[in-house]
Amino acid sequence: MNKIIKQLNIKENLFGIDIYNTDNLIPVRSNLEKYYLPFEDKNLKDHYQVCKIYIINSHNKESIEFSDPLKGKEKFNKVEKNAYRRRYIKGLNKKKEFFTTVMRLLSNVEVKAVI
């Protein structure tokens, strides 16, 4: 995991949490290198700008490679497909709001996909 974090050039310290040291983080599942980040006790009054989105997937390679920045419809489709709980959007009658939010987000964000 540390190799991937370094390759993505992610900040070493996120809200005061050393993300290179996973010893004090709680695993999502015991067999995964995925961890909960405890935001509940952090002061999150500040807003943070999203500058990049990485569309990830699983593979068995030793390293990761990313596409050139996605553009247009491909950029929108990749982000829309990976939205958290996107199946609820239609059921809650939020398609227009979702579309507007994603378009506003993508106007200033670079999106790359693992290849």
Q: What is the pLDDT of residues 46-105, one digit of tens each?
A: 666 788 898 988 888 888 888 999 999 999 999 999 888 888 898 899 999 999 999 999
41 pLDDT band, cuts 50/70/90, is low
- What the block records as the tokens of 6 is 């370094």
Expressed in percent and rounded to 5, the helix, strand and coil fractions of the chain are 30, 15, 55
The pTM for the full model equals 0.62
Is the distance from CB of 5 to CB of 20 less than 8 angstroms?
A: yes
- What the block records as the tokens of 66 is 């990313």
Q: Which residue has the higher pLDDT, 40 or 22?
A: 22
What end-to-end distance do the CA atoms of the chain give, in Å? Answer: 18
Q: Which residue has the higher pLDDT, 108 or 44?
A: 108
Phi/psi for 79 (5° steps) reads: -70, -45
Q: How far apart are CA 89 and CA 95, in angstroms?
A: 6
Instruction: Identify the DSSP state of 95.
Output: H
